[in-house]
Amino acid sequence: MPAPTLLARDVTKSFPDRDGAGSTPVLRGVSLAVHPGELVSIVGPSGSGKSTLLHCLSGLEAPTSGSVEIVGTPLTGISAAALAKLRREHVGFVFQSYNLISSLTAWDNVALPARLARRRVRAEEVDRALAHVGLGDRAHHKPAALSGGQQQRVAIARALAVERDVVFADEPTGALDTAAGAQVLALLREAASGRRAVVMVTHDLEAAATADRVLVLRDGTIHAELVAAGAAQVLDAVTRAAAQV
């Protein structure tokens, strides 16, 4: 088996209480490994720590303890510049909303990582990525002129324009209608191939069931792990997790 793209060991995360007197644990020792070509979805009841886990795995937030490695690079103690470089070269993001820089066209948003990496922007790569998500004809529109689904697809094009090792998607279909959500899911499913893995947090159990593996989170820990599960199995696992909270 190839080395994991993403490796988390005993990750915990606590947030300080408002009064500063104590802290509330959100993640309680999560360990997982995601391999190249895998699509892993993370589901769980509200407040189970799904988004916090994704943020810790992707380096958007620092865990309180434990370690995370992306393509063998530990995120613990990494400098801001090194983290930025890691993101540019290996990581893509698709968020639920606010995915795009409002002043840039769809084309420029897709080309942004290359610019940030001070690489020559290859127009054909950007064009291909946009065409791949079905937005070749919307390349020069700004985000405000795109629908929510189109904005998500631009974000996916940005994540796929450069060969990245892992794409993190936080509720990528959360703000979309069924048809747009299905398009986005199909693109993410397709993206998880070769050396690229996709980790997706979702509350949509149908969406979760498209993954190779489903991690059911409960109260900050992995409660169940399902492989090639159908939506009914995922629903059952989440229901049981919710009942035990």
Partner 1 sequence: MVTGTERGPGARAPRGLLQRLVVGELLADARTWVGAGVVAGAAAVVGAVAACLLQSAVQVGGTLGVALYPVVGVVVVFTVVATLVVLSSVAALTISSQQRSHALWQLIGMGPRQVRAVVLAQLLLVALTGALGGTLLAAPLVVPFCRWVLATSDGLQQVPLVFGPLPAAVVVVVVTALVTAGGRRSARAASRTSGLLLVREADPPPARVRRRRWAGLALLLAVLVPLVLSAGGTPLEQVLVPLTLVGPLLTALVVAAGPLVFAPFLRAWTSLVPADASASWFLARAAAAHGTARASATTSPLVVAVAFPGALYAVTDTVRAAVGAQTGRLPPAPPVQTAVLLIGGPLLLAAVGAAATVFMSGRVRERESALVRAAGGTHGVVLLAAGWESVIHAVTATALGLVAVVGSAGVAAWAVAPAGAAPAPPSFGAGAVAVTAGGGLLLLLAATVPTTLLALRREVAPALSAE
Binding site for partner 1 (CB under 8 A): 51, 55, 60-62, 80-81, 84-89, 91, 93, 95-104, 108, 112-113, 115-118, 120-121, 142-144, 146-148, 151, 158, 175
Query: Nearest approach, Cβ of 173 to partner 1 (angstroms)?
Result: 12
CB atoms within 10 A of CB 89: 16
- Shortest CB 241 distance to partner 1, Å: 23
Residue 18, both tokens: 């408002």
> At 144, is the secondary structure helix, strand, or coil?
helix
Distance separating alpha carbons of residues 15 and 2, to the nearest angstrom: 35
Q: Specify the residue, 33 or 62, whose C-beta has the smaller distance to partner 1.
A: 62
The nearer residue to partner 1, 180 or 226, going by C-beta atoms, is 180
Could you tell me if 53 and 217 are in contact, meaning their C-beta atoms sit under 8 angstroms apart? Answer: yes
Q: 94 vs 234, which CB is nearer to partner 1?
A: 94
CA torsion 179→185→186→192, rounded to 10°?
170
Which residue number, 73 or 233, has a Cβ lying nearer to partner 1?
Answer: 73
Instruction: For the CB of residue 117, give the shortest distance to partner 1 in the complex, in Å.
Output: 7
Specify which residues 41 forms β-bridges with.
200, 214
Tell me the closest approach of the beta carbon of residue 42 to partner 1, in angstroms: 15
Amino acid identity of residue 55, one-letter, is H
